[in-house]
Every structure is written in C-alpha cells, then in structure tokens.
C-alpha cells in the first residue's frame, strides 16, 4: 500500500464529496461543501508538528495549485522543518519583506497623487489645483524617485535655484514636499525619521529666510473714510460685478464667499445669510447678519439662477470682475480682500465692539484651541448691531458730511454766544 503520492490529478479534478484526503507526508486535499449540491471548494493543506505542536499550513486553492505544485511546496516546507524553521513563519516573513520592498518603491509622484486624493472634498478645488501645479512645476526631479530615497540634496535641487527669486512660493513648495514625505512615512512607504524639509536648525543653515529676502506685504486696504463714496458709486449702477463688490464690502466677507452666494442661503425673514462650510476658509458654517443696506441691494438683483451674482444664470461672477470694478470706481491700487481690513480698522477706531466680536464678524478663529472649544456661539445678535453700523457708515456718505457741517455751525454759534456773554 502506497504511503506517499497517493492522490492522482484525475481524482483531484473529479472530487465532488467534502472531506480530507491525504497524499502522504502530511499533504492533504481538503474539500469543503458549498450551498450548491455536488460542488465543493478544494484546497491544499500541509499538516506538521513543531515543538510538539500540531499546525496546518495552507498551500493554496486546488484550482490554482496543481497536485505536482502542491507536492513541491510540501517538500520545501519539510526542508525548513528539518532545519528547525517553522514554514508558516518563514512564509509570513517572506511576504512581509516583499511587501516592504514593494512599498519602498513608491515614488514621490504616486504619494502625491494619494495625498491629494485622500483629502477628497476637504480641499477646495482651487487649492487642490494650486497644490498640484506648484509640485508639477518645481518638483519634477522628485516625481519618479522612491520616497524612501529622497534626501536633503534632492529637496535643495528643487527649491534652491529659484529661492531668491520667489522665496514665498518655494517655501510653500518646501512645506508641501514635507507633507508628501510625512504622508509616505505614515503609510509605511518611508522609514520614520527627521524629514529633509525641516527648516529650523537645518535648511535655515543653507537658505535665507523668505522674510529676509522679500518682506511680507499685506493686501492694500482703502482708508475706511473713502469706502462710503466707493459704495455709493457701486450701488448707483446695475452692473453685477459692481453690486457683487458692494455686497462683499457691506458683509465684510471674502470674495470667494460672496461670489458663490446662492439665493437658497439667504433667509430674508431672519435677515441672515448662511454661508455653507465648503465655501469658508476654515470649513465652518458662517452666519452673516444682513443690514438694511444689504437687504435693499438684494431686492434689486434679478433672480435668473441659483446664484445672487451669476452670468446668464449659470456661473457666478469671477474674482477678476470684482477687481476690475474696484479699479473702475476709484479703487485702483487697492484689493478686494483689503476691504476686510478697512472694515476692521473702522471697527477698531469708530466702535466699542470687543475684539472677539470683530474677529467672529470676519470669520477668524478666536484664541487657542481650548478657548475655541468653549466659545461655540456666533454672537449673531451682537454682530447684527455691528454690521448695521457698518452698513449705515457705508450707505450714507452724504449724511455724514452734512452732520459734520451741522456740528461745525453749532460750534460757531455756541462760540459766538459765549463771546456775547463775556462782553456783557
């Protein structure tokens, strides 16, 4: 009676009954019943003992691994056992090594794609596009290099040639390279350790600080005393870019938030504009109280689509149209974003509003993370009074000038009366 190689290929192919059928030397064919009568799932097993412990090692499906291949795999396992090596542990180690080798071949370009895809809808389309373009422009030497092989020399090869010309841009690229390498490290594509893009006590020894090369320039802001005259010119027209700019100024929001405003976000009854988080810089919803001047402007707008300021009812106006409207009406040299600074300066100098209220009005973060966790309200009613003051300031420049004249005349009359009293 044969004790080895007891099975045949014909038997393996024709087997339709569940059970375990030995081939000898611990190799066996396992047939597992399925829900379909007469159909079994067949796989190879190797039974062995190591350190007085019985173990079963799977050798693969009988559909993929032939009888001859199963016998060869069993012989290799027995050779390892003869040397005191557990074949299951050896196989797992080999798979792990192959996996690590595969991971370490991941290129910078592949990790960049994964990083951008992993953020999904968390990033605005514009930011994702700018992120991609900056890396494609400056990081070409890295794209086909394995992330595990990227060092300081390769990083400098990307950023150093143009560092003095565009330090802010290249510093942003430096940080983004670090983000990709950090992502690769977390995913196991790169060994843990200090990143070659770190600045302090590292690249700062080689490159000048961006602020030493090019001082930070803030957005040019129009003096708040000139804003009412500008708003008067804007609302005197029926052009959508002008009205969109006036809406942006009166609500003190960012251009991207106002240009994408939809009618569905306006609550006329509550006099509130509810900006959704996906259009906000901090990805949090922002409620803007609407002053009487803003409500009057909204009533003038034609409803020819979902957007407040749309071109042919399909797309919102573009950022350039607001910039051109600002230039046309005496704002040449200033920026649309700078109007937020005009609002903040006015609030600082002409109101008693606390700092927190002004920061919330501008949709800025308040304090540190702990403070923000407790400050969950949006101070809507208090902001309503502040925004109405701003709307009144911007909407009635002629009244403000008249008030100054009246005040001056009253001062002259009172001074004359005082002189008469002294003469008497």
Q: Over the stretch 348-371, which tens digit does the pLDDT of each residue have?
A: 999 999 999 999 999 887 755 544
Exposed, middle or buried by CB within 10 Å (0-12, 13-18, 19+), for 326?
A: buried
Q: How confident is the model at residue 218 (pLDDT cuts 50, 70, 90)?
A: low
Dmax over CA atoms of the chain, in Å, equals 146
- Tokens 């422009």 correspond to 137
Question: pLDDT tens digit string along 259-313?
Answer: 999 999 999 999 999 999 888 887 788 999 999 999 999 999 988 889 999 877 7
pLDDT at residue number 121: 73
* All domains of the chain in start order, with CATH: 9-99 (3.30.160.390), 108-211 (1.10.150.130), 224-402 (1.10.443.10)
Q: Residue 220 is encoded by which pair of tokens? A: 């040019």
Q: Within 13 Å of residue 414, how many CA atoms lie on the same side as its CB? A: 6
Tokens of 99: 């996996």
Q: Is the pLDDT of residue 187 over 70?
A: yes
The backbone torsions φ and ψ at residue 376, rounded to the nearest 5 degrees and listed phi first, read: -95, -15
Report the C-alpha gap between 300 and 61 in whole angstroms. 73
Q: What is the pLDDT of residue 331?
A: 80
pLDDT of 5 above 50: yes
How high is the pLDDT of residue 330? 84
Neighbouring C-alpha atoms within 13 Å toward the C-beta of 325 = 28
Residue 101: burial class (beta carbons within 10 Å; 0-12, 13-18, 19+): exposed
> Residue 59 is encoded by which pair of tokens?
């050798």
Among 24, 39, 47, 32, CA closest to 8: 24
Report the relative pairing of strands 272-275 and 266-267 from DSSP bridges: antiparallel
**What is the structure's pLDDT at 215?**
65
Using left for φ > 0, alpha for ψ between -120 and 50, and beta otherwise, residue 89 falls in alpha
Identify the pLDDT of residue 1.
Answer: 54
Residue 216: which pLDDT band, with cuts at 50, 70 and 90?
low
Please tell me the distance from the alpha carbon of residue 287 to that of residue 289, in angstroms, as a whole number.
Answer: 7
Q: Which of 186-195, 342-351, 390-399 is predicted least confidently?
A: 390-399
Q: pLDDT over 70 for what percent of the chain?
A: 87
Question: What confidence category does residue 188 fall into, taking pLDDT thresholds of 50, 70 and 90?
Answer: confident
Higher pLDDT, 10 or 211: 10
Rg of the chain over CA atoms, in angstroms? Answer: 36
Is residue 376 over pLDDT 90?
A: no
Q: What is the pLDDT of residue 198?
A: 95
Q: What is the mean pLDDT of the chain?
A: 86
Q: Is 79 exposed, middle or buried (0-12, 13-18, 19+ CB in 10 A)?
A: exposed
The CA distances from residue 277 to 97, 262, 265, 281, 400, in Å, are: 44, 14, 12, 8, 37
Residue 391 has pLDDT above 80, yes or no: yes
Residue 397: per-residue pLDDT: 59
Q: Please determine, for residue 158, whether its predicted confidence score (pLDDT) is greater than 90.
A: yes
What is the number of residues in the chain?
Answer: 424
Beta bridge partners of 340: none
Q: Measure the CA–CA gap between 222 and 206, rounded to whole angstroms.
A: 39
Question: Three-class SS of residue 169?
Answer: helix
- Find out whether 258 and 248 touch, Cβ atoms under 8 Å: yes
- Of 13-17, 22-26, 51-55, 280-284, the poorest mean pLDDT is in 280-284
End-to-end Cα spacing for the chain: 146
Q: How many CB atoms lie within 10 A of CB 316?
A: 21
Q: Which is it for the CA torsion 249, 251, 256, 258, positive or negative?
A: negative
């Amino acid at each position: 009676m044969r004790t080895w190689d007891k099975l045949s290929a014909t038997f393996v192919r024709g087997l339709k009954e569940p059970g375990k059928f030995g081939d000898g030397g611990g190799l066996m064919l396992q047939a597992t019943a399925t829900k379909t009568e007469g159909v079994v799932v067949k796989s190879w097993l190797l039974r062995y003992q190591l350190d007085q412990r019985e173990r079963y090692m799977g050798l693969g499906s009988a559909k993929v691994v032939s009888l001859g291949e199963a016998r060869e795999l069993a012989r290799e396992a027995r050779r390892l056992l003869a040397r005191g090596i557990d074949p299951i542990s050896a196989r797992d180690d080999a798979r792990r090594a192959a996996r690590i080798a595969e991971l370490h071949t991941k290129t910078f370009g592949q990790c960049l794609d994964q990083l951008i895809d992993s953020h999904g809808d968390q990033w605005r389309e514009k930011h994702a596009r700018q992120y991609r373009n900056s890396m494609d422009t400056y990081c070409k030497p890295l794209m086909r290099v394995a992330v595990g092989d990227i060092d300081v020399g390769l990083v400098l090869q990307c950023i150093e040639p143009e560092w003095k010309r565009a330090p802010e841009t290249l510093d942003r690229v430096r940080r983004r390279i670090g983000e990709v390498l950090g992502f690769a490290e977390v995913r196991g594509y790169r060994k843990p350790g200090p990143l070659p893009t770190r600045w302090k006590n590292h690249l700062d020894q080689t490159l000048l600080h961006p602020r030493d090369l090019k001082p930070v320039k803030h957005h040019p802001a129009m003096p708040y005393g000139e804003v009412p005259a500008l708003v008067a010119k804007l609302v005197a027209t029926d052009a959508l870019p002008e009205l969109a700019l006036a809406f942006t100024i009166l609500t003190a929001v960012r251009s991207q938030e106002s240009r994408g405003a939809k009618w569905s976000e306006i609550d006329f009854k509550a006099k509130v504009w509810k900006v959704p988080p996906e259009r906000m810089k901090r990805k949090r919803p922002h409620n803007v109280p609407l002053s009487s001047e803003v409500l009057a402007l909204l009533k003038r707008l034609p409803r020819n689509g979902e957007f407040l300021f749309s071109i042919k009812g399909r797309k919102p106006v573009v950022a350039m149209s607001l910039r051109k409207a600002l230039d046309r009406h005496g704002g040449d040299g200033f920026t649309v974003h700078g109007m937020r600074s005009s609002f903040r300066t006015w609030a600082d100098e002409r109101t008693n509003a606390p700092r927190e209220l002004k920061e919330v009005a501008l949709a800025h973060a308040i304090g540190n993370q702990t403070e923000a966790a407790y400050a969950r309200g949006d101070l809507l009613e208090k902001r309503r009074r502040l925004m109405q003051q701003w709307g009144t300031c911007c909407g009635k420049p002629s009244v403000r000038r008249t008030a100054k004249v009246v005040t001056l005349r009253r001062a002259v009359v009172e001074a004359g009366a005082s002189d008469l009293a002294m003469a008497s």
